[in-house]
Structure 1
Amino acid sequence: MASSAPLSDTKRMLLEKYVRGEAFRSLPQASTITKRPAGAPAPLAPSQERILRRERQVPEIPPLYNESVTIYRFGALDIDALEQAFTEVIRRHEIWRTTYTTVNGTAVQVVHPAPEHIPIPFIDQRTVPEHRRLADTVRLISENARRPFDMEKGPLVRASLVRFYDGEFRLYLIVHQSVLDGVSVYQVLLTELSALYDAFSTGKPLPLTEPSIQFGDYAYWQRQNLQGETLQRQLTYWRTQLCGDLPALAWPTTKPRPAKQSFRGAIQPFAFPKAVGDRAKSLSQQMGVTLFTTLLAAFVVLLHIYTKQVDFIVGTVSPVGRKRSEVQNLIGYFLNPVPLRFWIGDGPTFQDLLFRVQEVVAGALTHDDVPFEYLAEELQPSSDPSRNPFFTVAASLEPPLADVGPHWSLTPMDVESGGARWDLYFVWDNRPSGMIGRVQYNPDLFECEEITSLIADFQEVLEKLASNPGEKVSNLRLESSHCSAASI
């Protein structure tokens, strides 16, 4: 059992950075990542390989790896300068002009030449009645989001520019998951696109230095280093964490679980009052834990209330590749899903649970180099075609949004692809104006109204526990009554 004690300020700050996708620069690291040998093909990173394998093995599933990103521009916009900036981003980052093929039975990345100019389709929605404008735009962009990518021909990025008002434009991107992660979007893309736009629109010199390596170099390095004693040591940790019978999460639902995973998905956004996020941040600082720890602990309590279970597993996406300082300014997919196992059968207070959750998260992130598929192959969890291995529910906290001034902003997951990796995925996004987020869920298992209730219940749990962290978890009661558990 994890010790119920806070981490030191230094360790907490390091964990906070890692959860946000920033490098543990002070930790000892393996060999420096350099450019791969000339002429050497770039292999797929294990994270990419897992995605492509699933898509090829189950081609009838929805395009669940088609991610949506919305970049907002407030004020005047020079469309030519935006297209130049977008083209330059793609030139700088090989992964956004990469496709995949198979050579001698091995999947490899194929980097295509940088285009001279990328025109962005433009839609002016100012003539659409304002009350219908957003829904009409989402309907149009959804056609891109629901269309599978050709992984061998590409491109794996689709862009559309929409004018909403005289002074508001939205750049909608549909991007394959294998070429981006949260840091790519929230920090690298937004920072580079805004800086390059300013340069092109004013005629100033381009302000960015060339990347010293590319994602393909990282993938090559990872394949060379992910083996031997390091891999076995980390596997030993996971065998201990996931020993015995693994619990299947019970859930209050009115729908029977399909015989096999459908991977269907829908998205519901949410926004909490600013005071809720502020209270969670204040408690985190007071207890010496990360904000993700506090949010995840509240989610664990909610799962306990719903299911009455004391042993369960929640997934998260670990920014495993972002440990490396060399990749901090790269676009790419550096994530690896990890299972987080929690036991609360001894009646802990919320304060006890906070320290326990932080210890579990820290342990998982320290041993996150083991690719998820390899972990499943080695540990052989009981096979159930209706469930994802290890966990069916996941949660994560988005990285901080880059501060690029008042003329730019960004939100993810605004357009549905029709797919979802897990039964339910709770995503928090902490902004200065308040906490927002998205819940992605499988409509074969949940009604929209049930997700609305879940979001309200989570907010209630978070507020109550933040107000009284000394309260025993087992004593917490919700005002609502949607908590009757039935195994799904």
Structure 2
Amino acid sequence: MTATTASGPSGAARLDGALAALPEHKRELARLLLAARQPVPARPVPRSGAGPVPATALQARLWNRERTHPGMGTGSHAVRLTGRLDPARLRDALTGVLRRHEALRTRLTDSGGPDGLVLTVDGEPCLRLTQTDLSTYGSQDREERTARQITESAGTLMGLDSGRTSWFRLLRLSPDEHVLVLASHLAVFDGWSSGVFLTDLAAGYRDGGGRLSPPDLQFPDYAGWQRRWLGSPDGAADLAHRRAVFAGDPPARRAVGGFERGYLPVRLARGPVDAGLALGASQGATPFMTLLAALAVVLARRDGRTTSVIGTPAAGRFTGELEGAVGQFTTVVPIRIDLAGEPPFRELLHRTRAAVAEALSHQRLPVDALFDKDSPPPYDTLFALHNYPAVPFDLPGIEVSQLPGPPARHLELYSPDPAATTACVGLVERDGEITGTAEYNRRAVTPAYVRELLTGIEEVLDRAVAAPASPTITRH
């Protein structure tokens, strides 16, 4: 029913009527012009209309890099399904998840206008699913072929401009065992999204894909808001303030040879690390903060400086409404840690706590707006202790387990210029162990250098536990 006043229809109703009377191609333009005149909220809100929105700064970078490095932006996830699976029911659930999340129905194209790269949402989902029967092979051959399929999935060529941003493979190993592999482009799917996706897939499998309702906020809502907020007085002020924080720090130097990816497995020694984390906890520091403080000491000694700037990937979901959406929200938050005055490690932990809290309060700022190839970031090392929410993938009558896949391409995702980085140490704390992968630039450093970083963390923690009040630990 149309809202009215004593004198007739309300202003909102008149505006809706005027917009409805316009031709469709002008209607969307009018909505955008009206939105541009309104104050930009500090947080994303549902957008008006369903037309194209400007792509995020990170999407624009990934789109450009995909042009010269095809397949660079593809990530892969795999789960083993043990039990009696209904493939038709799974297809319906997958389609329902694609319909629920606009990010999985988008295409990125160059508008040729002032908006540059834009993101357009397709109305109906297009499920790309291949099914392969491996049940006729022997046990070892099945596992080898499964591993090969997972590896191939990570190299799947996507088409951002065509909307081909995800591809599924269902491998049948036996009547009661399957493997589901998802290949997705990093431009529309981050690490957090995998948990959201699996949760929704389980709900769609149990209750039917058609019963999945869209989240309160979609990724295009966020993308459209980001460009407007960065151009607003509040966004510009936040950007200027954050740049000023790092104005005195030297930028990372670009490797002469460019960028070539290398990997090392990581497993931190439990003795010194466990004791170090206990020391950190006694000072109110999380495991991430404690490990970050130790790495800051290692890097400060390397550079002969009394400060360390380290980049850390952040989820970027700074409002609760974004936590249930699939999309690429990740940003890198630079953390500046002050070691001036040779503080005891206990004092350094308190400084690190404050620095982390301050840095994470600026997750709204995309790293690609803060830094670019012409003004490289003031860090060459990235560090992450991943804490994505645990996902109970609950399918009736089916046991689900995660399968390892190829290492992710984090340096190209997280770095405005990968050649200006040396290493990205990504760790996971699970079952009392801290393990992960160190990705590094072969053109900048050697595997021995990366190992020295890791052993340096262990040594700093070992000495900190032995003498937490000694200033020699942070002496450069």
TM-score (norm 2): 0.75
Is 1:220 aligned to 2:217, yes or no? no
Quote how far apart the aligned CAs of 1:216 are.
0.9
Is 1:390 aligned to 2:378, yes or no? yes
Residues 108, 120 of structure 2: 8 Å contact kept: yes
Instruction: Please point out which of 126, 141, 165 is paired with 2:150.
Output: 141
What number of residue pairs does the alignment pair up?
Answer: 424
| Alignment match, 1:295 | 291
Residues 267, 435 of structure 2: 8 Å contact kept: yes
Residues 343, 474 of structure 2: 8 Å contact kept: no
Residues 51, 120 of structure 2: 8 Å contact kept: no
5+ unaligned residues in a row in structure 1: which ranges? 1-28, 250-256, 382-387, 478-488
**What is the alpha-carbon distance in structure 1 between the residues aligned to residue 388 and residue 411 of structure 2?**
26
CA distance 1:301–1:211, shift in 2 (3 Å): same
**What is the alpha-carbon distance in structure 2 between the residues aligned to residue 206 and residue 184 of structure 1?**
20
**Post-superposition CA distance 1:287-307 (Å, at most 9, x none):** 112332122112223334555
**What is the alpha-carbon distance in structure 2 between the residues aligned to residue 447 and residue 166 of structure 1?**
47
2:440 is matched by which residue type in structure 1? Y
> Which segment drifts farther, 267-276 or 310-319?
267-276
**Partner secondary structure for residue 50 of structure 1:** helix
Is 1:328 aligned to 2:290, yes or no? no
| Alignment match, 1:36 | 47
| Alignment match, 1:17 | none
1:47 is matched by which residue type in structure 2? L
CA distance 1:403–1:35, shift in 2 (3 Å): closer
5+ unaligned residues in a row in structure 2: which ranges? 1-39, 413-417
2:378 is matched by which residue type in structure 1? F
Instruction: Please point out which of 255, 258, 262 is paired with 1:261.
Output: 258
Structure 1 or 2, whichever has the larger Rg, is: 2
Is 1:319 aligned to 2:305, yes or no? no
**Partner secondary structure for residue 108 of structure 1:** strand
**What is the alpha-carbon distance in structure 1 between the residues aligned to residue 454 and residue 144 of structure 2?**
22
**Partner secondary structure for residue 267 of structure 1:** strand
CA distance 1:221–1:227, shift in 2 (3 Å): same
Quote how far apart the aligned CAs of 1:113 are.
3.5
In percent, how many aligned pairs have the same letter? 28
**What is the alpha-carbon distance in structure 1 between the residues aligned to residue 215 and residue 340 of structure 2?**
50
- Where does 1:201-220 land on structure 2 (aligned, <5 Å)? 208-220=212-224
**What is the alpha-carbon distance in structure 2 between the residues aligned to residue 287 and residue 53 of structure 1?**
44
2:319 is matched by which residue type in structure 1? R
Residues 310, 345 of structure 1: 8 Å contact kept: yes
Structure number with higher relative contact order (C-alpha < 8 Å, ≥ 6 residues apart):
1
Residues 310, 383 of structure 2: 8 Å contact kept: yes
| Alignment match, 1:82 | 90
**What is the alpha-carbon distance in structure 1 between the residues aligned to residue 442 and residue 249 of structure 2?**
28
**Partner secondary structure for residue 331 of structure 1:** coil
Is 1:50 aligned to 2:61, yes or no? yes
**Partner secondary structure for residue 323 of structure 1:** coil
| Alignment match, 1:108 | 118
Quote how far apart the aligned CAs of 1:347 are.
1.6
| Alignment match, 1:423 | 422
CA distance 1:153–1:403, shift in 2 (3 Å): closer
- Where does 1:452-471 land on structure 2 (aligned, <5 Å)? 454-462=453-461, 465=464, 469-471=468-470
| Alignment match, 1:252 | none
- Where does 1:36-435 land on structure 2 (aligned, <5 Å)? 36-56=47-67, 59=68, 61=69, 63-105=71-113, 106-115=116-125, 118-122=128-132, 124=134, 127=137, 130=140, 137-162=146-171, 169-185=178-194, 187-199=195-207, 208-246=212-250, 248=252, 258-262=255-259, 264-272=260-268, 279=275, 282-304=278-300, 306=302, 308-320=304-316, 322-376=317-371, 381=375, 389-404=377-392, 407-410=399-402, 414-415=406-407, 420=412, 421=418, 422-432=421-431, 434-435=433-434
**Post-superposition CA distance 1:290-348 (Å, at most 9, x none):** 3321221122233345555443322122333x112221200111122232233424222
CA distance 1:439–1:103, shift in 2 (3 Å): same
1:397 is matched by which residue type in structure 2? L
TM-score (norm 1): 0.73
